[in-house]
Amino acid sequence: MNRRRDARIGILFASPWIIGFLVFLAYPVVASFVYSFTDFSILRPPRLIGLENYSELVRDEVFYKSLVNTLVYTLGAVPLSTVVAIALALLLNTKVRGMAFYRTIFFLPSLVPMVALGTLFLWVFNGDYGILNDLLRRIHITAPNWLGDPAWAKSTLIMIAAWGCGQAMIIYLAGLQDVPIALYEAAEIDGAKTWAKTRCVTLPMISPVILFNVVMGIIGSLQVFAVPYVMFPGGAPARSTYFYTSYLFDNAILYQRMGFASAMGWVMFIITLLLTLLSLKLSERHVHYEAG
């Protein structure tokens, strides 16, 4: 009888999430799939139009533009943030004095809200009075037109992403501190120097953490929206910062093409899944899991 009672109470306790899961996740995922085959706006109820949204999608240049922008951004932001975050974590893990101070400094940027990031970096990258160009001038480098040149605008966003890598850094640091000291000692007996220890002990041991952060980074980067929305209205210059989510948002809310936006959502879902699976597959041979 206890078991029945447990089941009843268990489900009762879990019921907020059961409802939340059904209403805010399961239903929208299914509904957006159904909507993707309809013509639908706030004014018009959904009307089935078969595969029309998808066939329009494959012919839509803006769709490709936004998709390529997003993939390029992801390809820049994820590796750069990963390298920066691991490098910072390795440095912090050397256990020098003042580690808590440095850790705080590196972490603080990741606390800055997206919109504030946008306004702040509009000013940092400002062509005339921005601090970055001033620093570059001092070392006699002609600064590019960060915000106005299509070739550079995306890279400013990638740099901002790397600046805010503090959360990943903390996760790496926790992973580094879990690496058993005995492994380093064994490596030293074998005559390994710092770099060899890093490459042959540290990195393999934290590889599951790297995989976790990279997958989360990919999922996040594919959804990049707020910072470019604030910094580059309309995806300026020349749509070089018009991202997938920007286009999806504009379709859903601005143009009221909700069926089309739903089709875009599902394509994004599939791309995310494929990239995640690809990361898992590619990492198979490199990620090392401790037994047990």
Partner 1 sequence: MEIENSTIQSLPPKRRPVAVVALTHIVLVALSLLFALPLLWMLSTAIKPITETMTSPPVWIPSKFLWGNFPAAVTYGSKELGYIPFLVYARNTLIVTVLSVGGAVISNSIVAYSFARIKWPGRDLFFGVTLATMMIPFPVLLVPTFALFKWMGWVGTFRPLWVPAFFGSAFSIFLLRQFFKTIPMELSEAAKLDGCSEFQIFMDVVAPLAKPALAVVALFTFMGSWNDFMGPLIYLVDQSTFTLSLGLQAYQTQHGGTPWNLLMAATLMVILPVIVVFFFAQKVFIQGIATSGIK
Minimum CB separation of residue 284 from partner 1 in Å reads 18
Q: Of 44, 62, 119, 255, which lies in the binding site for partner 1, with binding defined by CB under 8 A?
A: 119
Q: What 3-state class would DSSP assign to 115? A: helix
User: Residue 142 and residue 242: Cα distance in Å, rounded?
Assistant: 26
Stretch that binds partner 1, among 49-57, 61-69, 144-152, 225-233 (CB under 8 A): 225-233
Q: Of 48, 62, 116, 151, which lies in the binding site for partner 1, with binding defined by CB under 8 A?
A: 116
- Sort strands 38-39 and 47-48 into parallel, antiparallel or unpaired: antiparallel
Q: Quick one: 43 exposed, middle or buried, by C-beta within 10 A (0-12, 13-18, 19+)?
A: exposed
| DSSP secondary structure of 261-286 | HHHHHHHHHHHHHHHHHHHHHHHTTT
Stretch that binds partner 1, among 30-38, 48-56, 61-69, 146-154 (CB under 8 A): 30-38
The pattern of x and - marking residues 264 through 283 that bind partner 1 according to CB under 8 A reads xxx-xx--xx--x-------
Stretch that binds partner 1, among 27-35, 50-58, 59-67, 280-288 (CB under 8 A): 27-35
Q: Which two tokens stand for residue 112?
A: 């800055």
Residues belonging to the chain: 292
How far is C-alpha 2 from the chain's CA centre?
45
Q: Which two tokens stand for residue 157?
A: 């966003």
Minimum CB separation of residue 34 from partner 1 in Å reads 9
User: Residue 157 and residue 32: Cα distance in Å, rounded?
Assistant: 30
| DSSP secondary structure of 176-240 | HTTS-HHHHHHHHHTT--HHHHIIIIIHHHHHHHHHHHHHHHHHHHHT--HHHHHHSGGG-STTT
Minimum CB separation of residue 268 from partner 1 in Å reads 6
Minimum CB separation of residue 190 from partner 1 in Å reads 16
Q: Of 71, 72, 219, 236, which lies in the binding site for partner 1, with binding defined by CB under 8 A?
A: 219
Q: Of 63, 73, 229, 242, which lies in the binding site for partner 1, with binding defined by CB under 8 A?
A: 229
Minimum CB separation of residue 266 from partner 1 in Å reads 7
Query: Closer CB to partner 1, residue 33 or residue 152?
Result: 33
Residue type, 125: F
Q: Footprint of partner 1 on residues 32-91 (CB under 8 A)?
A: 32, 35, 42, 88, 91
Q: Footprint of partner 1 on residues 155-184 (CB under 8 A)?
A: 163, 167, 170-175, 177-178, 181
Q: Footprint of partner 1 on residues 6-25 (CB under 8 A)?
A: 6-7, 9-14, 16-21, 23-25
Stretch that binds partner 1, among 60-68, 123-131, 146-154, 280-288 (CB under 8 A): 123-131
The dihedrals phi and psi of 51, each to the nearest 5 degrees, come to: -90, 10
Is residue 96 at the binding interface for partner 1, with CB under 8 A as the rule? yes
Q: How many residues make contact with partner 1 (CB under 8 A)? A: 101
Query: Closer CB to partner 1, residue 178 or residue 190?
Result: 178
Tell me which residue of 164, 157, 178 sits closest to 85, measured CA to CA: 164
